[in-house]
Structure 1
Amino acid sequence: MLTTYSMFNICGTFFKAVVNGSSAAAVVSSRGTPSTFQSAACMCHAMQHKRSLSLFNGARHYFLSRESEDDDLELENPYIQYPVVTRDQMNRVAIDKYKFDFSYASFSFHSTKGESAIHSLSDLSDPTSLNTLLPRRRPHGSPADTLSIKAGDDAMLVSPTVLGVADGVSGWESKGEHCSSGVWSRSMLETLSRLLTEYKIAHYPHNLNKRDIDQIIDDSYLHTSHLMDLQNLNGSSTLVLCMLSGEYLKMISIGDSKLFVIRDGQIVKTNEEQLISELCPKQIGTQTLTQLPSEMAWVDAMKLQENDVILLCSDGITDNLYEDEINKYLNEYLNEQNLGLRQAAQKLLSKAKEIAFDDYAFTPYNEKVNALPKEKFGNKSSCGGKLDDMSICLARVVPNQNGGQVKA
């Protein structure tokens, strides 16, 4: 039986070839047999789009046929039973020098509408249950100490080795009932966690390199797109993710969700904000099948030190608090008041909420709006806080007692 990762690897490799316009590539059909497209080196954008969608449908049939053979389920209600990953398994392959002590905090603003339950590929529970609606759960196929957290249309993933935030784009709500950025964002993060875990176990004792990360993020995207297609749902999100690899921190971001590395009271690393237009962030979702995440993502790495503080947050935080304010508050909470990560995350969230509910506050978001070119946007002005979903992942880098060396 093919593993989850190998299935994604087959489909993802072909997907890259089609999008990049390579001269020949193999596609896996619904029966799992290879076929070849003719030369497409000079394809136009329209043909590129058509073939990308054709590949997506081919991958969909492949997944469905595989699930039907393995699980003997009806195709209308497929899901994969991922294996349970124990702490002992992860300890045996732990070669990272550090791990994360972590906590999180969230505020749900876009939480009035009901969410569709995920009852297909990425959900491991009984398809008739509502486990996917829980604000917090342990996703199957990930290490036992991994948590998936739902905050309105935002999603967070926290574990001793991986942190992630996906900010679901709430604008999809206006497009009808078959839209859910909350489902997209949570599924994307959980799928990333599963594939990272499977890769780590399968490729021990090797650390992830950039090519591995690109492959995993692209395969996760293809799988999540497939899931949304099965549910007849549309949605999209930003993405910021960091993971430990040896003594390094590997970082990925798409859009305007932020990552900060704070060392000795100073921000020593942050990601680039990516925008499509003045107020619209880059995003990945069901509408971006013609471009792979690895082609648009900001990717970087840095060597870590013990006691580095790492913050990941959605724009609900950074639209209301300036970067120097975030740094000042965290130094105050963690160093001066010597609070724990949980208290510090909650207090930072409270600061952002105070501004968001203040009709007379002046914020980073106000600055962006007020700086828009008047010849294009007119005399627009903005004042007061910005209400939005808010997500915070806060971690401290500590020594990994189980890692740092290859196990015999």
Structure 2
Amino acid sequence: MLTLRLNPTSSVAFTIPRQTTIPQIQRRTLFSFPRLFADSRREQHRSRDPQTGLKTPVPDGSADKKSASPFYFAAGYAGWAKRPSRPFPPPFFSPPSGSFSDPLSTTHRSMDRRPKVDGQMIRGVTNGDDAMLVSETLIATNDGVGAWATRERGCAPLWSRLIAHFMALSAEKALYAGGEDGEPEPVKWLEEAYEHTKAALSEPNEWHGTTTSSAALLHWKDDKPLVYVTQLGDCKVLVVRPQESGEGEVLFSSVEQYHYFDCPRQLGTNSPDTPEGNAVLDKVDVEEDDVVLALSDGVTDNLWEEEISDYAVGALKTIKEKHGHDFDLQQAMKYVAQEIVLAARKIAEDPFAASPFMEKAVEEGLAIEGGKPDDISVVAAICKRRKG
């Protein structure tokens, strides 16, 4: 999403640096948007290893909270950033301000360098302009629009991260002990997250940006697992069921939302989109051992759904062949996420590869070939029943 953005100087207008298709252009010619490819090709060797992890960090004490659900997610995440994200500005991140030669003025301020909002640590992790969140009941991937980095007050990764953070808070309040009863309301939680984020990034701490959002909440009904999928924009949630044959069946795929080609619906500065008006909620019946994936468009622009499913199931098969049934589920999900990231990155860096993004561009009459360099973020989770 680096070639287009909401125009910060207009209340609702969208812009895209489109190019006219040249008649009789050779099919193997790379006809590209300059910003889409040039920066990425130059920076793609910055780091070869994806960042990976299990649960994303939470404040002290929060990890002790448990949902009443008989089911839980064993999950892991992986991400590869096209370029380093813009650092969070104060007051969300405040490095030591005293002299480094005076330990009394620096040590206590440098102990905890985790970003904070409203006095508490911001949940999730940042990957370029994306944000990922992992817990035993909720996984999410938000894709910040990177073009905001060119603006003086632009910070897309702050928007994507805060939306995930505040949605997690609403989910915890509703699902954990002492919270609300009844059916989950993920769209309401996303709306609350949106409003809290707008408030946090208004004067005197005004920062601009937009982000797409996708989340999967594991709940239950009649003692059977049920996944609530919330979608706004072009991130995607897939539900994959491994088969005895070793293949994977895609049970569910959320539908991307666009204003027009490569301009997804998004939340934030100058955007007309809102969770209440535009977010889509799907309820998906799942079974134990089904795999749920929350993906940024850095994955889905470079891999088709069948490929993503094959990589996920193939990674699980590799783990089982190596360790039998004695393996850590979270580590296995981290490996699944990592394999998908590596596969997507391989296509993203190939200027002659066939890709879903190229296919969509051709349908729009644009002579674009190859993968699409972008931040690549994957959260992989497997549904399990609690013991006891």
In the superposition, the TM-score normalised over structure 1's length comes to 0.67
Q: Secondary structure of 1:238's match?
A: strand
Structure 1 residue 348: Cα displacement: 1.6
Task: Please point out which of 318, 327, 331 is paired with 2:300.
Answer: 318
Q: Counterparts in 2 of 1:48-59, with a 5 A limit?
A: none
Q: Please, what is the CA RMSD of the aligned residues?
A: 2.9
* Number of the residue aligned with 2:250: 267
Residue 61 (structure 2) pairs with residue 104 (structure 1): no
Task: Please point out which of 156, 173, 190 is paired with 2:149.
Answer: 173
Q: Does the Cα contact within 8 Å between 1:260 and 1:270 map onto a contact in 2? A: yes
Residue 164 (structure 2) pairs with residue 189 (structure 1): yes
5+ unaligned residues in a row in structure 2: which ranges?
Answer: 1-11, 13-57, 98-108, 243-247, 323-331
The one-character-per-residue Cα deviations of 1:221-254 (angstroms, maximum 9, x if unpaired) are 1110111113221001100011122231111010
Task: Please point out which of 269, 278, 289 is paired with 1:296.
Answer: 278
In 1: Cα distance, 2:237 partner to 2:273 partner = 23
Residue 126 (structure 2) pairs with residue 150 (structure 1): yes
Aligned length: 298
In 1: Cα distance, 2:180 partner to 2:168 partner = 18
The one-character-per-residue Cα deviations of 1:119-163 (angstroms, maximum 9, x if unpaired) are 25xx899997683469xxxx9479xxxx61110100000011110
* Number of the residue aligned with 1:249: 227
In the superposition, the TM-score normalised over structure 2's length comes to 0.70
Higher-helix-fraction structure: 1
1:84–1:354 CA distance, 2 compared to 1 (3 A): closer
Task: Please point out which of 265, 268, 279 is paired with 1:282.
Answer: 265
In 2: Cα distance, 1:202 partner to 1:218 partner = 22
Q: Does the Cα contact within 8 Å between 1:110 and 1:170 map onto a contact in 2? A: no
In structure 2, give the amino acid aligned to 1:278.
F
The one-character-per-residue Cα deviations of 1:27-57 (angstroms, maximum 9, x if unpaired) are xxxxxxxxxxxxxxxxxxxxxx9xxxxxxxx
Residue 320 (structure 2) pairs with residue 335 (structure 1): no
Further displaced range: 156-165 or 393-402: 393-402
* Number of the residue aligned with 1:38: none
1:285–1:370 CA distance, 2 compared to 1 (3 A): same
Identity between Structure 1 and Structure 2 (%): 27
1:326–1:158 CA distance, 2 compared to 1 (3 A): same
Q: Counterparts in 2 of 1:132-143, with a 5 A limit?
A: 132=114, 140=120
Q: Secondary structure of 1:382's match?
A: coil
Q: Does the Cα contact within 8 Å between 1:207 and 1:245 map onto a contact in 2? A: no
* Number of the residue aligned with 2:377: 391
In 2: Cα distance, 1:101 partner to 1:124 partner = 33
The one-character-per-residue Cα deviations of 1:307-356 (angstroms, maximum 9, x if unpaired) are 01011110111111111111111121113552722222212211111111
Q: Counterparts in 2 of 1:74-153, with a 5 A limit?
A: 85-88=61-64, 90-91=65-66, 94-111=67-84, 114-117=86-89, 119=91, 131-132=113-114, 140=120, 148-153=124-129
